[in-house]
């Protein structure tokens, strides 16, 4: 309610918010970095389509971070170590 009450741009702060929750392990016993679950809440002022589940095909969390940076106007093509980042996720944006 508090985020919705704060005017920002053409809407509210809530309209422009994106919350990311990431599990650091896909399988806790082996500390696997495969098949991680990433949960995005909000759509960053319409930058992301919501209400769906995507299989990102083994892409890195750095690719997800690149997509988030791009949604907020940061035009970087990689995030973190470029060796582990292919660029923004193609099916994530609206």
CA torsion angle 74 78 80 86 (round to 10)? 150
**Alpha carbons 26 and 80: distance in angstroms, whole number:** 20
What string of DSSP letters covers 4-51? Answer: TTSEETTEETTTT-EEEEE-S-SBTTTTB-SS--EEEEE-TTTTB--S
**Alpha carbons 66 and 80: distance in angstroms, whole number:** 9
Query: Looking at residue 92, what is its pLDDT?
Result: 84
Mind listing the pLDDT tens digit of every residue in the chain (94 residues)?
998 899 998 889 988 999 988 877 766 676 666 677 888 888 898 898 888 888 888 888 899 999 999 999 999 999 999 998 999 998 888 7
| pTM (two decimals) | 0.78
């Amino acid at each position: 309610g508090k985020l919705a009450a704060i005017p920002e741009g053409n809407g509210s702060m809530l309209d422009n918010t994106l919350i990311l929750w990431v599990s650091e392990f896909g399988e806790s016993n082996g500390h696997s970095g495969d098949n991680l679950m990433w949960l995005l809440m909000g759509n960053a002022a319409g930058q992301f389509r919501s209400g769906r589940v995507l299989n990102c095909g083994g892409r890195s969390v750095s690719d997800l971070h690149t997509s988030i940076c791009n949604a907020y106007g940061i035009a970087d093509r990689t995030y973190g170590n470029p060796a582990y980042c292919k660029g923004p996720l193609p099916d994530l944006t609206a």
